[in-house]
Amino acid sequence: MAIFEWSNELSVGVPSLDEQHKKLVKLINDLNEAMKNGKAKEVLGKILKELLDYTKYHFSTEEKYMAQVNYVASETHKLEHQQLIKKALALENDFKNGKATITIDVINFLKEWVSKHIMGTDKKYSSAFIEKGIK
């Protein structure tokens, strides 16, 4: 069973971003499954790297759209993105160097951050993006 389920409650009303959010949910679930199944460090590291790379891609897409619509809260939103990337890169570095492992606490942190970010911060741009025709 997945640790993180997509629901319509998480939809921001922009199909391309909803698809990206679904991919982030899937990657968190993949990381959780690999951790639960005791996958080798290389497999966990590969999934963690994919999650980080996709998160960066997703954030750059959102930030591009914010610039297109002159979104008023873009600086605050970008700051949240930067803070998560910084934490995630530190986690990846610690994992690579054997200083950290992927635990349920790490999975829950990612799940909670993504969920709260979508429900709190991302939902605020929905109407601006939809009004400007972002799909």
Highest mean pLDDT among 28-32, 68-72, 101-105: 68-72
Residue 116 located in a structural domain: yes
- Per-residue pLDDT band for 106 (boundaries 50, 70, 90) equals confident
Residue 8 located in a structural domain: no
Residue 54 located in a structural domain: yes
Please give the model's pTM, rounded to 2 decimal places.
0.91
Residue 2 located in a structural domain: no
Whether the per-residue pLDDT at 40 is higher than 90: the answer is no
Per the structure, the count of domains in the chain is 1
Amino acid symbol at 127: S
Residue 28 located in a structural domain: yes
Residue (of 54, 40, 29, 53) closest to 108 by Cα position: 29
Domain holding 95, by residue range, is 13-131
Residue 3 located in a structural domain: no
Q: Could you tell me the CATH number of the domain that includes residue 20?
A: 1.20.120.50
Residue 123 located in a structural domain: yes
Q: Distance between CA atoms of 25 and 19, rounded to whole angstroms?
A: 10
Task: Please give the average per-residue pLDDT across 63-83, as a whole number.
Answer: 96
